[in-house]
Chains A and B, each alone.
Chain A
Amino acid sequence: MTRTRKPRASAERPLELRLLADMLRIRRMEEKCAELYGAGRIRGFLHLYIGEEACATGAMHALAADDNVVATYREHGHALLRGVGMDAIMAEMFGKAAGCSRGRGGSMHLFDVARRFYGGNAIVGGGLPLAVGLALADRLQGVRRVTLCVFGEGAMAEGAFHESINLAALWQLPVLFCCENNLYAMGTALARSESQTDLCAKAASYRVATFRADGMDVRAVFDTVSRAVRQVREGGGPAFVELQTYRFRAHSMFDPDLYRDKAEIEEWKQRGPIHSLSAQLKAEGRLDEEAFLALDAEAEAEVAAAVAFAEQAPWEPVADLLKDVHTPAGAAAGGTP
């Protein structure tokens, strides 16, 4: 039996190891979700982030605890790294009442208001005006805070993108528009969707600062998003970041993935963010295989516990079917935390 070295408590680790550990947490959680989907434990839709982990990891680490985050339906990783517990995420995937959206959101609508995670969003482009509104409210209420709004490149073809970034720029609101450009919107390649495939150029036409990073390199994402966040936080108005990335899996569990060249997928897989970072850290003498396996085991253990939690969690009682459509008379406005 091989003994795994006990890893250092996560908070004391150097940043690179925390980034690596978090990418592993997302990866292992999602691999398990895919398995549970196959087994019929998770139903409906499931959009995996596998291959793109460096984006959420670098970006979420660049934020302050108090910042707002708005995401898309491919948001499992973002939610996890904003501090939504894996237990609560997994229970939500199952549709259980212990989930972070109390079983009504599912994989596409993870929410955690206490952590200022304003949701996954099943509507492409749906989160963009919301993010602008959060930022405007912060300004009106005298709070200095950054709102990070994550979306795919497909959303940039929706009217909501243009209306939102224009408002944010016009009113100089503290929004960081963060585009995860994985080159495809379902089966539609970027060039078949955008007249301007240089997404930074497109955003720049609204007179916002633009940044671009290799979305397969978590350190590059962290550095770039950190710079962008700093500029927005210091009152420089909104900014736009393009993270160039790739999803290794199909769009969703229903997608036969016939629109991409297998060779293209394989090529990108060579640049897998977890593999890249761990290889770099090993080359730099800051990680060995044993330490890597320890981090991985830690992630696996967290996933196993989350699944056990979700499995035993109770279903929402049928009596609650009609609850929370309207605020009950006498309840505080603004809802329950």
Chain B
Amino acid sequence: MAEINLVEAVNLALAHELARDEAVVLLGEDIGANGGVFRATVGLQQRFGAGRVVDTPLAETAIVGTAIGMAAMGLRPVAEIQFSGFLYPAIDHLINHAARLRNRTRGRLTCPLVVRTPCGGGIHAPEHHSESPEAMLAHTPGLRVVMPSSPARAYGLLLAAIRDPDPVMFLEPTRMYRLFRQEVADDGEALPLDVCFTLRGGTDLTLVSWGAMLHETQAAADALATEGISAEVIDVATLKPLDLPTILESVARTGRCVIVHEAARTAGLGAEIAAGLAEEGLYSLLAPVQRVTGYDTVMPLSRLETQYLPSVERIVAAARKTLEAS
């Protein structure tokens, strides 16, 4: 079994599905001969041909719109958008068509489409290259939103996304692409969608996060452990539909919850989770739920980026606050 990083895991999953299912077709800008801006598709066109790994012109609207047509005909297109800031020209087709095709035809047509795009900051790039659009996408009925946080989950969740009959937005945390390596078996075993993953058990509080922020969240759990505080860490993984029961069950045991995300605070998914806890878990809470998030501003250029992103210190401070409250 090879130790691979997250972007290599994406590549491995794409290769596995291209080999397994003839209906799988990749399309995007410079994904073929060039292997993609982040090299996620490196070698795939050589291996599977230009008919299965399709280089497109610069045309996000057409990339996603075309993929919807392909999906309606039973293919399984996997479109790559180079950065999530370039997704916006395609949002029209995602929201107006991909997300609604099934509903509009009462299931006579489905849209087994995957749109992969890097997301999040921490790479010293401004604005469009550091977006966190997950809440905006999750707000759209009909779109599934998935974000892996490790090479193994990237592999398993991408397999599941490609096999899923409905459109999946697969957001890949750019900062994690090459952050660490992990053994991943190319066994074709998908991980389940629509469920959270509990990354470590704990008894004093529950830390809930997704994507790259799990890196800081786990470091915060380590820091808390040195003080004798036991934090459970949950990777939400599928952001829509949200697996609230797993979070509720954890908070029923710990009584405290801190939600960590790098996207802007207002109307972020932290608010959705907090609302779910208020509605269904209020009586098990021993302290108010805390959110540690990005700010309601455009991702600033490199220097202030570190101020924008939730830090280990901010997470630890929020955790302490929940412990002090009771």
Contacts and interface: CB of A to CB of B under 8 A. Distances in A.
A157 B129 contact: no
Contacts of A321: 295, 297, 300, 304, 307-308
A85 B59 CA distance: 34
The 8 nearest A-B residue pairs measured at CB: A157-B57, A187-B34, A193-B57, A43-B124, A95-B301, A44-B125, A43-B302, A187-B30
B124 A44 contact: yes
A106 B126 contact: yes
B145 to A, nearest CB: 22
A109 B298 CA distance: 13
A154 B58 contact: yes
Given A105-B126, A122-B127, A193-B57, A186 B30 contact: yes
B197 interface: no
Contacts of B34: 186-188, 258-259
B303 interface: yes
A321 B125 CA distance: 16
B84 to A, nearest CB: 12
Interface string A305-324: 00000000001101001100
A124 interface: yes
Contacts of A325: 296-298
A44 B126 contact: yes
Contact of A186 (B29, B62, B302): B29
A241 B129 CA distance: 30
A155 B58 contact: yes
B86 A123 contact: yes
A245 to B, nearest CB: 18
A104 B300 contact: yes
B304 A318 contact: yes
A193 B58 contact: yes
A316 B304 CA distance: 8
A132 interface: no
Interface string A213-242: 000000000000000000000000000000
A160 B58 CA distance: 11
Interface string B291-326: 000011110111110011000000000000000000
Interface in A146-165: 154-155, 157-160
B85 interface: yes
A103 interface: yes
Contacts of B62: 159
B311 to A, nearest CB: 12
B246 interface: no
Interface residues of B, number: 34
16 contacts: A43-B124, A44-B124, A45-B129, A95-B303, A106-B302, A108-B126, A122-B128, A158-B58, A159-B59, A185-B57, A186-B37, A187-B33, A187-B34, A193-B58, A258-B33, A325-B297
Interface in A135-154: 154
B322 to A, nearest CB: 25
Interface of B: 29-30, 33-34, 37, 55, 57-62, 85-86, 88-89, 123-129, 295-298, 300-304, 307-308
Contacts of B61: 158-159
Nearest to B83: A122
Nearest to B61: A159
B301 A188 contact: no
A254 B30 CA distance: 14
Contact of B302 (A95, A185, A194): A95
A270 B302 CA distance: 37
A192 interface: yes
Contact of A123 (B57, B128, B304): B128
Contacts of A315: 303
Given A44-B301, A157-B59, A316-B303, A188 B30 contact: yes
Contacts of B123: 44
Contacts of B89: 123, 125, 158-160
Contacts of A44: 123-126, 129, 301-302
A188 B58 contact: yes
A80 B296 CA distance: 32
A45 B125 CA distance: 6
B108 to A, nearest CB: 29
Contacts of B303: 95, 103, 315-316
Interface string A187-218: 11000111000000000000000000000000
A122 B301 contact: no
B58 A106 contact: no
Contacts of A122: 85, 126-129
Interface string A82-123: 000000000000010000000111101100000000000011
